[in-house]
Amino acid sequence: MSEYILIWLGVANGIAFGLMVADKRRAEAGTRRISEGTLLGWAWLGGAIGTYAASRVVRHKTRKQPFAGKMVLLCAAEIVLLGLWALDLLDPIVAAALAYLPPSA
């Protein structure tokens, strides 16, 4: 399972990075842009680090609010979750949260 999660995170971050770079190029060329919803959607799906990295590398959407704030928040959340997962602290937190759910019928 861990292998698949790492593969997904790599793919999602690669796609998010590529979309940010493509949007920057489109902005410079004055052509149709990639929507902020799409960019943040890929950040939400695990590509937050790639989105943030691309914003710094190509200097894109670093000052646009609320996009930049949401991007930083998602990146921080992804880093915290990855840290908890790497330290094997995520499973007990999820198990404790699931214990509060009512049993299925």
Yes or no: say if 24 and 58 are a contact pair by the CB < 8 Å rule.
yes
pLDDT for res 105: 64
Residue 50 sits in which domain range? 2-99
48 lies in a domain?
yes
Sign of the alpha-carbon dihedral angle for 1, 89, 14, 18? positive
Asked whether residue 58 is domain-assigned, the answer is yes
Cα–Cα dist 59/104, whole Å:
48
Nearest CA to 67 out of 85, 97, 90, 44 is that of 44
Q: How many CA atoms lie within 13 A of 65 on its CB side?
A: 1
User: Looking at residue 94, what is its pLDDT?
Assistant: 87
In a domain, 27, yes or no: yes
Tell me what pLDDT residue 28 has: 94
In a domain, 105, yes or no: no
Query: Could you tell me the mean pLDDT of each successive run of 10 residues in the chain, 105 residues long?
Result: 87 96 94 94 94 91 83 93 90 89 80
43 in any annotated domain: yes
User: How many structural domains does the chain have?
Assistant: 1
Per-residue pLDDT at 3? 87
